[in-house]
Amino acid sequence: MSVFQYVSDEASLNALVAQYQQSKLLVLDTEFVRTRTYYAKLGLIQAYDGKTLALIDPVAIADLSQFWALLADPTIVKLVHSCSEDLEVFAHYGQCQPLPLFDSQIAAALCGMGHGLGYAKLVETCLDEVIDKGESRTDWMHRPLTQAQLTYAANDVLYLHQLYPQLQAKLHAEGRLAWLYEEGERMTEGRLAPPDLDTAYLKVKNAFQLNERQLAYLKVLAKWRMEKALARDLALGFVIKDHGLIALAKKQPKTIGELIKLNDLTEQEKRIHAKDILRIMQTADLVNLPELVDVLALKPGYKSAFKTVKTCLTELCEHHGVPQEMLASKRHIHEYLQWRWNEQRGSLPTVLCGWRAELAAQALEQLVL
């Protein structure tokens, strides 16, 4: 059983932070609940410096500011596993991002151990320890937490600390330690920026189906939905689902009667939001219309060009022992083609940045697309 300190008051937390400030490595994990909310509900923070394993109770502690400041300390390496959701939690609750960042899942991939390796599998492979994952679907907001829940949470950082020397040594031997930290910087980029309300419509599924006039309606509707979601801390789909917004933008109801006839909205959505929706739709700017949503994949030659780039990158992945998902994913290829076909305007695609550029830039430049 893990030995841990349960921290549920500010004085204990601040004493712990003072200790952690002396460390060069801090292991981190979070437990949270997300069902209907826009933001995850933070239930527990696990931290371990190799000496004190702490389970920090954010439900009981009102002021976590000193702990959040610790995460931004550039002299302490923050060790995590598959951390994208943790980063979202840190951004929302702490307005911070943990840098420098060492993600053990990415480290394992760069070491040739496989892409997307789960924590339990990584621990079993490297340490020959079997972790009980029985509490993974627990309600982390419920108090008091059981001994089984606390032990499960503690184990999530206990073994990660033991994995670090192995992964670090392998990356150093491969000359890829700098790649790992570069990935950490890339993962944390832009996470502290507030949601962009004016471009929310671009993320609505099937927005590409709409003409400019319909997009003008979708733009104000998506902005309104995002504002509602943020104000009430509701997942977007629990305000109105994407296909409901698309239907409204296409059919443009002018009266309650017309809106009620729409089958794409639930009865609850109509009852709660009908007046708001009609009011918001009247604010659409029908003079300065948005541009059509450009769907690259529908352009002539896309499939052929995609295959050419994928073949090139896949060969590079095999040659260098890098997982395809890190260099030749669908998103990476799509982003590259968009940049290439847009006369190389705008930000460089990911595949032409940092260590990826070292591997791929020259080969991609020679492709005829």
Q: Considering the candidates 49, 57, 103, 156, report the single residue annotated as catalytic.
A: 156
Report the Cα–Cα distance between both ends of the chain, in Å, rounded. 58
Closest alpha carbon to 160 in 106, 104, 113: 104
Q: Considering the candidates 29, 57, 183, 242, report the single residue annotated as catalytic.
A: 29
Amino acid (1-letter code) at residue 110: L
Tokens representing residue 162 in the block? 């033991």
Amino acid (1-letter code) at residue 102: F
Q: Considering the candidates 20, 31, 38, 164, report the single residue annotated as catalytic.
A: 31
CB environment 263-295: b (16+ within 10 A), e (fewer): ebbeeebbeebbeebbebbeebeeeeebeebee
Catalytic, 31? Answer yes
Q: Considering the candidates 86, 103, 183, 242, report the single residue annotated as catalytic.
A: 86
SS3 for 34-50, per residue?
A: CCCCCCCEEEEEEEECC
Q: How far is the C-alpha of 51 from the C-alpha of 250, rounded, in Å?
A: 60
Catalytic, 156? Answer yes
Residues 6+ apart with CB under 8 A from 123: 129, 131, 159, 163
Catalytic, 159? Answer no
Tokens representing residue 365 in the block? 């430049």
Q: Considering the candidates 38, 48, 93, 152, report the single residue annotated as catalytic.
A: 152
Closest alpha carbon to 281 in 311, 261, 316, 255: 255
**Is 213 exposed, middle or buried, given 0-12, 13-18 or 19+ CB atoms closer than 10 A?**
middle
Q: How far is the C-alpha of 239 from the C-alpha of 224, rounded, in Å?
A: 10
What does DSSP assign to residue 348? P
239's enclosing H/E stretch is none
The residues assigned a catalytic role are: 29, 31, 86, 152, 156
